[in-house]
Structure 1
Amino acid sequence: MTTEEIITALERAWNAGDGAAWAACFAEDADFVDVVGRIQRGRATIARESQNIFDTIYRGSTLEIRQVSSRPLGGGIDLVHTTTVLSVPGGPRAGDTRGVQSKLIRDGEIVAFHNTIRADIAAFAGHDADLATRSPQEWDS
């Protein structure tokens, strides 16, 4: 699959609540770091864990995915960054959540995927206005 086809397939699978279809975009031995930092290894684990959230906290949710960038790293591997908007109709995660993902794609399959929630830095830092104005490289100074 092309990168565009992978993104379309991921979005379609999420919106259908289909963990197996979601995981079909991943290599058999892929690594997926989910939004809470769990490392899921292998397509079967990714399918199972995805179906668990589709059936519970993300039931009826929709996901919009947009490619931000893509660049070849050599050896047939591309680094792809995407952004997402996840809309959850009810339950503990109700509302819209924005995210950023990094994917390594080889031979039409995702071999590595890292998912991160986007948050306001001032809120994340306990409303520290000074910290919110500084770049991450300045946080230790």
Structure 2
Amino acid sequence: MTAVDEVLTEMARAWNAGDGTAWAANFAEDADFVDVVGRVQRGREVIAAEHQKIFDTIYQGSHLEIRQVGSRPLDDRTLLVHTASTLRVPAGPRAGEWHAIQTKVFRDGRILAFHNTGRVDLADFAHHDEALADRAPQEWGQIASG
């Protein structure tokens, strides 16, 4: 198991235990975390506190699975890692199964930056417009212009 895989295992364990402090322990002291709704959280203490809030409310009792899908070194101390996750929420306003992709920058074995992006069906994103959903996003402007 690689060091990254160990961190991912620790993160899943912390999430599933609802432990914001343990979740944030995997981050560098000066880390940046961009959550799934686009809020930037700066610093390990803020990341811990913000996660504890969601563990105690909308994601209470949820179960996270996370896996590495790719990585590449940026320099001797820094690694770019992409992960995929499945979050199962048993009740409340976010009940259901949610999928996301994350981009993480590791420096010296800790997460320096983390960006979480929810995955949605392209047809849903295109508001069920079949012509739009059948095209790549780069082609969407061609429909509007003609």
Q: Common fold, TM-score beyond 0.5?
A: yes
Where does structure 2 lack aligned partners over 5 or more consecutive residues?
Answer: none
Once the two structures are superposed, what CA deviation does each residue of 1:104-141 show, in whole Å capped at 9, x if it has no partner?
00101000000011000111111011111111222223
In the other structure, the counterpart of 1:80 is 81
User: 1:75 offset after TM fit, Å?
Assistant: 4.2
**5 Å matches for 1:113-132?**
113-132=114-133
Where does structure 1 lack aligned partners over 5 or more consecutive residues?
Answer: none
Amino acid at match of 2:18: G
**Cα distance in 1, alignment partners of residues 72 and 14 from structure 2:** 25
Aligned to 1:51, the other structure's residue is in SS state: helix
Once the two structures are superposed, what CA deviation does each residue of 1:31-68 show, in whole Å capped at 9, x if it has no partner?
00000100000000000000000000000000000110
**Cα distance in 2, alignment partners of residues 56 and 50 from structure 1:** 10
Which consecutive segments of 4 or more residues in structure 1 shift more than 4 A? none
Instruction: With the length of structure 2 as denominator, give the TM-score of the two structures.
Output: 0.93
Provide the alpha-carbon RMSD of the alignment: 1.1
Aligned residues: 141
In the other structure, the counterpart of 2:139 is 138
User: 1:97 offset after TM fit, Å?
Assistant: 0.4
**Cα distance in 1, alignment partners of residues 131 and 80 from structure 2:** 33
Greater Rg over alpha carbons, structure? 2
**Cα distance in 2, alignment partners of residues 137 and 40 from structure 1:** 30
Percent identity reads: 64
In the other structure, the counterpart of 1:33 is 34
In the other structure, the counterpart of 1:44 is 45
**Cα distance in 2, alignment partners of residues 72 and 136 from structure 1:** 29
**Cα distance in 2, alignment partners of residues 71 and 137 from structure 1:** 26
**Cα distance in 2, alignment partners of residues 25 and 120 from structure 1:** 30
In the other structure, the counterpart of 1:17 is 18
Instruction: With the length of structure 1 as denominator, give the TM-score of the two structures.
Output: 0.97
In the other structure, the counterpart of 1:64 is 65
In the other structure, the counterpart of 1:2 is 3
**Cα distance in 2, alignment partners of residues 13 and 100 from structure 1:** 19
